[in-house]
């Protein structure tokens, strides 16, 4: 084949890639696994870094991971039906049916931690321990309120028929016509909902929750989230008739995420009913597909959103301004997934802010870097989804919670493995033709990256549009040399490369320069 004059300046193969899947599968096109991208703010250079590794923190517990939180310098973690403070079990049996817990905290004379999973919500303090918030209040005869609905709990000496009940039978529901007499008791709903949307908000002394009907309920007394008797302390997000999904806070605002819309409220200091008032004109035309996708980083909220006219998209709300951050390729991966199967985590690490989104049924974890605005895919040692379900911090360490093995981990770039298991970094490039649809002979590849002892890169290629059985065998080269090169790389018209790093070392790589001879055909 006739050859053109050798290219004087080598072409660079793109290594900093975003997911480019052409359909709902990740089997084809460019992607980055177990790595992230960092931009040098001075030079503008982009580097691919191996993601940090994990090291077990404390003893493993029994049960699935259901949430972790740093409160007053202590790590509170929930595994199965037990909460642990710095690894020591606290007294109390928790609900597991609602899945991952969300946390908040309140001030006052008694500092309290609140945590709930939608099915059950609890308060914790150092004096009384864990106490479940009961959506029903028990009232003794003589204190019934006319026109309120009650359920007979104990009959005792009370004639419930005289105050509106059909019979004096435990379990009978009636509407009171008077205060009653005797020592009988009945239950009545208080201001705390039977079922909550996820998310608990503390603002100006009041703790708020939201029910699935988008009714935002506040506690009765400032800085006391144990009392919910004021049934007037409620406000409904009702610009749209959609259900409540998640309650969050940003700046000095309460954010109510519905199915396809989001409303914003502020502390209006109302003397009666709810202290909250709507922020006029602050409606957002995106809701939330699942409260388990909502995370907060540095005041920014990020979640998987949708509305009446759009499929699932990942959005960031910062200073009440919404931005869509999912790419078309990411949205293809979210298309037609079971939204109830989604979970998320978020943490900061060495100047980066990471948001992770896991689709368990699809065996996929997608990670967005809010700092450098890039997407990647992270996996465990076996290539399955990354099984982290919650994250917090302690001093200078990031603490992560595993979803199934009962373990907590610290994360650091000085850990080159996941608790002893090798981290596999995979870089799949786009199909590359050098800008010319001709045959090309690749005489030399030079790898530009860190010179690290023991670091080896495996290289293979595919000239057949990512067909699974068309990949070449891996070739290996050491990155512990001044000028890592790979010679005699054959000819191609269009080619994709797969670079794999599978070593107990750091990895940072910037680019690959290609010495090409371009043919005439």
Q: What is the DSSP string of 89-101?
A: EPS-----TT-S-
**CB-count burial class (<10 Å; 0-12, 13-18, 19+) for 5:** exposed
Q: Are 247 and 294 in contact (CB under 8 A)?
A: no
Confidence of residue 8 (pLDDT cuts 50, 70, 90): low
Q: Are 395 and 410 in contact (CB under 8 A)?
A: no
User: What is the per-residue pLDDT across 237-284, written as a single tens digit (0 to 9) for each?
Assistant: 999 999 999 999 999 999 999 999 999 999 999 999 999 999 998 999
Closest CA to 482 of 449, 517, 504: 449
Q: Are 485 and 477 in contact (CB under 8 A)?
A: yes
Residue percentage of the chain with pLDDT more than 70: 98
**CB-count burial class (<10 Å; 0-12, 13-18, 19+) for 402:** buried
Q: Is 334 helix (H, G, I), strand (E, B) or coil?
A: helix
User: What is the per-residue pLDDT across 435-461, written as a single tens digit (0 to 9) for each?
Assistant: 888 899 999 999 999 999 999 999 999
pTM, to two decimals: 0.93
- Give phi and psi for 63, each to the nearest 5: 105, 165
Q: What is the pLDDT of residue 3?
A: 44
**CB-count burial class (<10 Å; 0-12, 13-18, 19+) for 303:** buried
CA distances from 312 to 26, 124, 365, 433 (A): 17, 36, 16, 33
User: What is the per-residue pLDDT across 311-354, written as a single tens digit (0 to 9) for each?
Assistant: 899 999 999 999 999 999 999 999 988 999 999 999 999 999 99
487: left (phi over 0), alpha (psi -120 to 50) or beta: beta
d(CA 311, CA 207): 33
Question: Mean pLDDT for the chain?
Answer: 94
Question: Dihedral (C-alpha) 30, 35, 40, 46: value to the nearest 10 degrees?
Answer: -20
Confidence of residue 2 (pLDDT cuts 50, 70, 90): very low
User: What is the per-residue pLDDT across 299-320, written as a single tens digit (0 to 9) for each?
Assistant: 999 999 998 877 899 999 999 9
User: What is the per-residue pLDDT across 218-227, written as a single tens digit (0 to 9) for each?
Assistant: 999 999 999 9
d(CA 141, CA 181): 5
d(CA 186, CA 164): 13
Count CA atoms within 13 Å of residue 165 on its CB side.
24
| CATH number given to 53-135+192-422 | 2.130.10.10
d(CA 116, CA 109): 22
3-state secondary structure 106-148: ECCCCCEEEEECCCCEEEEECCCEEEECCCEEEEECCCCCCCC
Confidence of residue 6 (pLDDT cuts 50, 70, 90): very low
d(CA 176, CA 81): 38
Beta carbons within 8 Å of 230's beta carbon, 6+ residues apart: 191, 218, 220
Strand positions, DSSP E, 319-450? 321-324, 342-349, 352-359, 364-369, 374-377, 388-394, 397-402, 408-412, 417-418, 421-422, 425-428, 440-449
Return the minimum-mean-pLDDT range out of 2-16, 269-283, 474-488. 2-16
Beta carbons within 8 Å of 289's beta carbon, 6+ residues apart: 245, 304, 305, 306, 312, 339, 342
Strands 136-140, 185-189: pairing kind: antiparallel
Q: What is the pLDDT of residue 11?
A: 85
User: What is the per-residue pLDDT across 392-418, written as a single tens digit (0 to 9) for each?
Assistant: 998 888 999 999 999 999 999 999 999
Q: What is the pLDDT of residue 499?
A: 97
Strand partners, 30: none
Beta carbons within 8 Å of 120's beta carbon, 6+ residues apart: 94, 95, 98, 132
Q: What is the pLDDT of residue 13?
A: 87
**CB-count burial class (<10 Å; 0-12, 13-18, 19+) for 463:** middle
User: What is the per-residue pLDDT across 493-516, written as a single tens digit (0 to 9) for each?
Assistant: 999 999 999 999 999 999 999 998
Average pLDDT over residues 287-296: 97
Q: How far apart are the first and last CA of the chain?
A: 8
d(CA 459, CA 478): 11
d(CA 96, CA 288): 23
Closest CA to 512 of 6, 9, 10: 10
User: What is the per-residue pLDDT across 145-168, written as a single tens digit (0 to 9) for each?
Assistant: 899 899 999 999 999 999 999 999
Instruction: Write down how long the chain is.
Output: 521
DSSP assigned state of 434: T
User: Maximum distance among all alpha carbons in the chain?
Assistant: 107
Q: Where are the domains of the chain?
A: 11-17+429-518, 53-135+192-422, 136-189
Centre a 10 Å sphere on the Cβ of residue 445 and count the other Cβ atoms it contains.
21
205-220 burial, b for 16+ CB within 10 Å, e for fewer? bbbbbbbeebbbbbbb
pLDDT at residue 33 above 90? yes
User: What is the per-residue pLDDT across 364-403, written as a single tens digit (0 to 9) for each?
Assistant: 999 999 999 999 999 999 999 999 999 999 888 899 999 9
The pair of structure tokens assigned to 11 is 């072409």
């Amino acid at each position: 084949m006739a050859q053109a004059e050798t290219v004087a300046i080598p072409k660079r193969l793109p290594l900093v890639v975003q997911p480019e899947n052409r359909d709902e599968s990740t089997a084809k096109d460019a992607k980055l696994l177990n790595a992230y991208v960092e931009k040098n703010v001075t030079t503008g250079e982009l580097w691919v870094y191996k993601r940090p590794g994990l090291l077990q923190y404390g003893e493993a517990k029994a049960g699935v991971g259901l949430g972790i939180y740093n409160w007053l310098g202590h790590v509170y973690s929930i595994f199965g039906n037990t909460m642990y403070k710095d690894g020591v079990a606290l007294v109390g049996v928790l609900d597991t049916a609602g899945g991952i817990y969300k946390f908040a905290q309140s001030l006052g004379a008694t500092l309290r931690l609140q945590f709930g999973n939608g099915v059950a919500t609890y308060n914790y303090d150092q004096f009384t321990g864990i106490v479940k918030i009961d959506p029903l209040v028990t009232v003794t005869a003589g204190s019934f309120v006319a026109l309120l609905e009650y359920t007979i709990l104990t009959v005792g000496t009370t004639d419930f028929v005289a105050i509106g009940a059909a019979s004096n039978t435990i379990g009978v529901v009636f509407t009171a016509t008077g205060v009653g007499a005797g020592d009988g008791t009945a239950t009545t709903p208080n201001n705390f909902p039977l079922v909550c949307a996820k998310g608990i908000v503390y603002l100006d002394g009041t703790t708020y929750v939201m029910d699935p009907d988008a009714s935002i309920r506040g506690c009765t007394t400032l800085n006391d989230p144990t009392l919910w008797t004021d049934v007037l302390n409620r406000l409904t997000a009702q610009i749209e008739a959609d259900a409540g999904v998640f309650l969050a806070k940003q700046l000095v605002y309460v954010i109510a995420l519905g199915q396809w819309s989001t409303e914003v409220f502020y502390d209006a200091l109302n003397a009666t009913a709810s202290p909250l008032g709507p922020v006029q004109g602050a409606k957002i035309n995106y809701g939330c597909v699942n409260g388990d996708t909502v995370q907060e980083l540095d005041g920014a909220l990020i979640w998987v959103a949708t509305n009446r006219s759009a499929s699932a998209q990942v959005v960031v709300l910062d200073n009440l301004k919404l931005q869509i951050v999912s790419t078309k390729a990411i949205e293809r991966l979210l298309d037609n997934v079971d939204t109830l199967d989604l979970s998320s985590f978020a943490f900061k690490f060495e100047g980066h802010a990471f948001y992770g989104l896991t689709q368990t049924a699809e065996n996929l974890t997608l990670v967005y870097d809010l700092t450098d605005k890039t997407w990647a895919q992270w996996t465990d040692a076996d290539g399955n989804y990354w099984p982290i379900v919650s994250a917090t911090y302690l001093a200078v360490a990031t603490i992560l919670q595993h979803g199934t093995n009962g373990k907590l981990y610290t994360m650091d770039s000085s850990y080159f493995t996941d608790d002893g298991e090798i981290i596999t970094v995979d870089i799949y490039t786009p199909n590359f033709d050098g800008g010319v649809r001709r045959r090309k002979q690749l005489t030399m590849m030079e790898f530009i990256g860190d010179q690290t002892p023991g670091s080896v890169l495996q290289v293979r290629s595919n000239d057949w549009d990512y067909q699974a059985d068309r990949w070449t065998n891996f070739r290996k080269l050491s990155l512990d040399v001044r000028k890592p090169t790979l010679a005699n790389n054959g000819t191609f018209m269009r080619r994709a490369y797969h670079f794999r790093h599978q070593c107990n070392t750091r990895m940072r790589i910037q680019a690959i320069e290609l010495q090409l001879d371009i043919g005439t055909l």
